[in-house]
């Protein structure tokens, strides 16, 4: 479904991605793990066109997308939940969700999707008319995921969904990631520092170091790998 071939991305003169090659098949949950500054967020930013790659190729469902602007990439079915949620704090929960469906015109399906996300996160139904900025961190993460789902993505990019959340909320967020993948058949590329949880939910994983992919294997193999256990699982 998604293929990155030899992607190089820069911030001015800083080379953040140094030839990233990876792929995600339809229906998979794939995780990208690695230390701070490894280039995980930049990989997602390059896929969705916010920080375009300077060379290499990104194909989505066989079509090159690396030269498209972000709005065209969203319209093709890729949606990102950014690190730090980035909800609209002064808009209500409902308005945040409405904006997720901004590019759509299939009113009946939008209504169904709204019911689906409010069912997924009942707390958002209770908070529907409240400004997004008054929600707790965990609730804001739920809103950010729901807003992305309102775009009905075929590929969902999740950037550090567990960052700064209490353990019980983290558990709930990972359960929901699993559910969205199973029930909605949404393919997921998940960036996480919480490698343990990420590998438990994902089918496969990539390890990233200094702008490069250094390891690629099934989640079971990565969970059992001595180097991964020492560097990323704290075991």
- Residue ranges that bind ligand ATP, judged by CB under 6 A: 11, 14, 16, 34, 36-42, 193
- Three-state DSSP string of 67-86: CCCHHHHHHHCEEEECCCCC
Of 97 and 195, the one with the shorter C-beta distance to ligand ATP is 195
- 234 DSSP β-pair partners: none
DSSP 8-state symbol, 132:
G
- Say if strands 155-159 and 78-81 run parallel, antiparallel, or are unpaired: parallel
Of 11 and 102, the one with the shorter C-beta distance to ligand ATP is 11
Of 56 and 131, the one with the shorter C-beta distance to ligand ATP is 56
Of 41 and 181, the one with the shorter C-beta distance to ligand ATP is 41
Q: How far apart (Å, rounded) are the C-alpha atoms in residues 225 and 58?
A: 29
Of 74 and 195, the one with the shorter C-beta distance to ligand ATP is 195
Residues 156 and 180: beta-carbon distance below 8 Å: yes
- 79 DSSP β-pair partners: 156
| Maximum distance among all Cα pairs of the chain, rounded to whole angstroms | 51
- Least separation in angstroms between CB 182 and ligand ATP: 27
- Least separation in angstroms between CB 34 and ligand ATP: 5
Residues 12 and 184: beta-carbon distance below 8 Å: no
- Least separation in angstroms between CB 46 and ligand ATP: 9
Of 118 and 173, the one with the shorter C-beta distance to ligand ATP is 173
- Least separation in angstroms between CB 144 and ligand ATP: 16
- Least separation in angstroms between CB 59 and ligand ATP: 21
Query: Of 12, 19, 4, 29, which is closest to residue 186 (Cα–Cα)?
Result: 29
Q: How far apart (Å, rounded) are the C-alpha atoms in residues 180 and 182?
A: 6
- Least separation in angstroms between CB 160 and ligand ATP: 7
């Amino acid at each position: 479904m998604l293929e990155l071939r030899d992607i190089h991305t820069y911030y001015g003169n800083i080379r953040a991605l140094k030839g990233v090659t990876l792929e995600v098949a339809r229906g998979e949950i794939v995780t990208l793990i690695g230390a701070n500054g490894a280039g995980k967020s930049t990989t997602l930013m390059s896929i969705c066109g916010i920080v375009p790659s300077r060379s290499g190729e990104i194909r989505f469902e066989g079509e090159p997308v690396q030269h498209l602007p972000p709005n065209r990439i969203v319209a093709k079915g890729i949606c990102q939940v950014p690190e730090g949620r980035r909800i609209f704090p002064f808009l209500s929960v409902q308005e945040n969700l409405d904006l997720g469906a901004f590019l759509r015109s299939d009113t009946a399906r939008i209504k169904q999707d709204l019911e689906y996300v409010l069912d997924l996160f009942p707390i958002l139904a209770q908070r529907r008319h409240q400004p997004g900025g008054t929600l707790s961190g965990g609730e804001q993460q739920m809103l950010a995921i729901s807003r992305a789902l309102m775009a009905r993505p075929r590929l969902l990019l999740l950037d550090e969904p567990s960052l700064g959340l209490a353990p019980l909320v983290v558990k709930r967020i990972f359960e929901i990631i699993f559910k969205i993948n199973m029930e909605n058949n949404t393919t997921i590329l998940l960036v996480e520092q919480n490698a343990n949880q990420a590998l438990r939910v994902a089918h496969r994983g990539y390890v990233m170091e200094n702008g490069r992919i250094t390891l690629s294997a099934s989640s079971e193999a990565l969970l059992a790998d001595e180097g991964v256990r020492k560097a990323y699982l704290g075991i």
